Amino acid sequence: MCGIIGITGDAPTLDVLLEGLARLEYRGYDSAGLALLPATAGGALWRARAATGTHSLDDLAKRVDGAPEGATTGIGHTRWATHGRPSEENAHPHVDCTGTVALVHNGIIENHYELSDALVAAGHELSSETDTEVLAHLLEEALAEAPEAGLVGAVRTMLGRVRGYFALAAVRTAEPGLIVAARRVSPLVMGVTATTALLASDIPALLGTTSEFLLLEDDQIAELRPGSVRVTDLDGVEVEPKARTVDYDLDAARKDGYDDYMSKEIHEQPAAVASTLLDRQLPDGTLALDEVRISDDELRSIDKVFIVACGSSYHAGLMAKYAIEHWARLPVEIDIASEFRYRDPVLDSHTLVIGVSQSGETVDTLQALREARRWNAKVLVISNVVDSSMTREADAVLYTRAGPEIGVAATKTHLAQITALEILALYLAQVRGTLYPAEARALLVRMGELPAKVALALERGPAVDDVARAYRDSPSFIFLGRHVGYPVALEGALKLKELSYLRAEGFPAGELKHGPIALVEPGTVVIGVATRTRLWEKMLANVAEVKSRGATVVLVANDGDDETARQADAVLWVPPTEQLFAPIVDVVPLQLFAYSMARLHGLDVDRPRNLAKVVTVE
């Protein structure tokens, strides 16, 4: 986790570093820090750090008074704590014993205990609890042993001693103007202009400075100097980095008049679904997925599908399982990505493994997909981030086109994921001939209606606020659903707990009587997804079971469905739709409910505690 940034150029870097850190804050905000190099060799390194949670960056900006005027080379970091509590001592950049080398790092150094024991035995003084600090001291040792190799040589030597994941950037006072960066698994992009070279954990952090980016691959080392970037592999052989031109709209990453990013992103959902659907349908009514570089013949030879993902992406995958099995008649297993590779899944070249990840960087999913490739399975990634690590390694990519999502809680990207997965399910059915063309065409027409239905569901926001107000003092919530309503219930519970820190559990409603119903007592608030999908009647029977034990019941119901409404104390209305598309519409009031509840509790919806937008640790 964490975000890193580095800039070297011919103009003061401080403001650009702070602006970039602000855009990286979604990756963690336990602390923030900066180090600036002196303009000439031999000057002192300047460092400032702040560890005040969501205020870290503001506080850092207040501590820059003593910064050397006009410093043109610097590195910065925003942290999501793994090793070592959030504190100033543990904040990056970390320095060596001499205070002349500074380093920022995103990732985990798995052998840091062993390395720090060796460093301490050799006389180094470590001043933090982090896994990162050992890297600064390893650089110090390498520089003492081979000063002529300089910082880049020291980084190469250091990487030979570490195990784990990293995107890192280091500077040294004896080499002004130089930043050395390296990457394994954790993301790192670079930009270069005539007078500047920049690096960051993601592209948006550097927007406004350049639109031309270079991608650092695993086990490559980059030397950034004003106006140039040189990339070598671990053996020192020069390599040509891949280049990308990015046409991002920076305004899209701002709040557009909404109180917060989450609210803006929730209201962008009709557009997110519409653009994910765009251009997929050929004039003859069939689907074309040009990003899919697996041939139709190969797709026809698939006999099993696995979906791997985490969090909301996992819930999207769960929804897709129903669609792929129903339309494409392929067996689908779905796994929490962090469990997948440790259970020895049975995979071969006839297996399709679908990774679902908004960021394309979640390390659990990335590693699960690498495991799949190891067994020659075909890998298809659904992601919102172009050129993310997962998309670069996949056989095929289906992009969700939701635009940048800044709020930590997934909303518009979640709806776009379900949409993309449903398109994929229909595509598989088309290729495998498991749906009549007329059936597929009819479904595509219904899909085209989804953006308008999501917009309708959003119009009910004020009514959802009323329901949230009515139950604001409830300490816990139970979410129930059946069939495709089950993953919707899981997502509703996840949104509520991550945003409002309330206890919320989602269950398949039919499973309730096997244990969870013991939680129900008079006054327990149960939120049920009771739209008219396949198991609607059975769902209402489960609702009756909790009502008869005194539960207060809130139901998501289709417009005009009085029969369902009669079973509820409060109703969250949504327009009806084809049942396998229903999650795209039915989850909207649950997002609004969680948002509203968090606001009622005075919480920061964009930056919930303990979370980060991109999870690059196992």
Catalytic residues: 2, 613
Is the Cβ–Cβ distance between 603 and 16 less than 8 Å? no
Give the whole-angstrom CA distance, residue 140 versus residue 595: 48
Point out which span in 166-174, 310-318, 428-436, 475-483 binds ligand M6R (CB under 6 A).
310-318
Phi, psi for 528 (deg, rounded to 5):
-115, 145
Closer to ligand M6R by Cβ: residue 169 or 310: 310
How many CB atoms are closer than 10 A to CB 178? Answer: 20
Closer to ligand M6R by Cβ: residue 59 or 618: 618
Q: What is the footprint of ligand M6R within residues 238-297 (CB under 6 A)?
A: none
Is the Cβ–Cβ distance between 166 and 151 less than 8 Å? no
Q: What is the footprint of ligand M6R within residues 445-484 (CB under 6 A)?
A: none
Question: Closest CB to ligand M6R belongs to which residue?
Answer: 311
Q: How far apart are CB 261 and ligand M6R at their closest, in Å? A: 12
Phi, psi for 322 (deg, rounded to 5):
-60, -40
Closer to ligand M6R by Cβ: residue 454 or 615: 615
Closer to ligand M6R by Cβ: residue 143 or 366: 366
Q: How far apart are CB 340 and ligand M6R at their closest, in Å? A: 13
Q: What is the footprint of ligand M6R within residues 554-613 (CB under 6 A)?
A: 611
Query: Which of 128, 220, 263, 313 touches ligand M6R (CB under 6 A)?
Result: 313
Closer to ligand M6R by Cβ: residue 388 or 542: 388
Burial class (CB in 10 A: 0-12, 13-18, 19+), 51: buried
Q: Which residue bears the tokens 């850190």?
A: 21
By CB under 6 A, residue 95 contacts ligand M6R: no
Query: Which of 299, 380, 615, 617 touches ligand M6R (CB under 6 A)?
Result: 615
Give the whole-angstrom CA distance, residue 529 versus residue 585: 11
Query: Which of 6, 311, 481, 485 touches ligand M6R (CB under 6 A)?
Result: 311
Is the Cβ–Cβ distance between 426 and 419 less than 8 Å? no
| HEC sequence for 372-404 | HHHCCCEEEEEECCCCCHHHHHCCEEEECCCCC
Closer to ligand M6R by Cβ: residue 503 or 566: 503
Is the Cβ–Cβ distance between 86 and 53 less than 8 Å? yes
Q: How far apart are CB 413 and ligand M6R at their closest, in Å? A: 7
Closer to ligand M6R by Cβ: residue 412 or 483: 412
Q: How far apart are CB 78 and ligand M6R at their closest, in Å? A: 17
Which strand ranges, in their side-by-side order, compose the sheet holding 476-481?
Answer: 503-508, 476-481, 525-529, 552-558, 570-574
Is the Cβ–Cβ distance between 165 and 616 less than 8 Å? yes
Please choose, from the candidates 353, 364, 438, 435, the residue with its C-alpha nearest in 3D space to the C-alpha of residue 394.
353
Q: How far apart are CB 208 and ligand M6R at their closest, in Å? A: 24
Q: H helices of 324-381, where?
A: 337-340, 363-374
Closer to ligand M6R by Cβ: residue 412 or 453: 412
Q: How far apart are CB 426 and ligand M6R at their closest, in Å? A: 22
Q: What is the footprint of ligand M6R within residues 349-368 (CB under 6 A)?
A: 357-359, 362, 365
Q: How far apart are CB 588 and ligand M6R at their closest, in Å? A: 14
By CB under 6 A, residue 498 contacts ligand M6R: yes
The site string for ligand M6R over 370-409 (x = CB under 6 A, - otherwise) reads --------------------------------------xx
For 562-569, which contacts have Cβ atoms below 8 Å and span 24 or more sequence positions?
564/530, 564/532, 564/536, 564/540, 567/530, 567/540, 567/543, 568/528, 568/530, 568/543
Query: Which of 312, 367, 389, 552 touches ligand M6R (CB under 6 A)?
Result: 312
Please choose, from the candidates 361, 417, 348, 426, the residue with its C-alpha nearest in 3D space to the C-alpha of residue 388.
361
Q: How far apart are CB 609 and ligand M6R at their closest, in Å? A: 12
Closer to ligand M6R by Cβ: residue 276 or 358: 358
Please choose, from the candidates 181, 614, 159, the residue with its C-alpha nearest in 3D space to the C-alpha of residue 366.
614
The site string for ligand M6R over 405-434 (x = CB under 6 A, - otherwise) reads ---xxx------------------------
What's the angle, vertex CA 477, arms to CA 474 and CA 478, rounded to 5? 155
Is the Cβ–Cβ distance between 50 and 56 less than 8 Å? yes
**# binding residues, ligand M6R (CB under 6 A):** 15
Query: Which of 310, 380, 418, 557 touches ligand M6R (CB under 6 A)?
Result: 310
Q: How many helices (H) and strands (E) does the chain have?
A: 20, 25
Point out which span in 220-228, 237-245, 311-319, 507-515 binds ligand M6R (CB under 6 A).
311-319
Closer to ligand M6R by Cβ: residue 168 or 499: 499
By CB under 6 A, residue 106 contacts ligand M6R: no
Give the whole-angstrom CA distance, residue 290 versus residue 423: 13
Residues 6+ apart with CB under 8 A from 615: 1, 310, 362, 363, 364
Q: How far apart are CB 387 and ligand M6R at their closest, in Å? A: 14
Residues 6+ apart with CB under 8 A from 62: none
- Cis peptide leading into 93, omega within 30 of 0? yes
Residues 6+ apart with CB under 8 A from 313: 356, 357, 358, 362, 365, 410, 414, 417
Q: How far apart are CB 135 and ligand M6R at their closest, in Å? A: 26
Point out which span in 182-190, 307-315, 374-382, 549-557 binds ligand M6R (CB under 6 A).
307-315
Site for ligand M6R, rule CB under 6 A: 310-313, 357-359, 362, 365, 408-410, 498, 611, 615
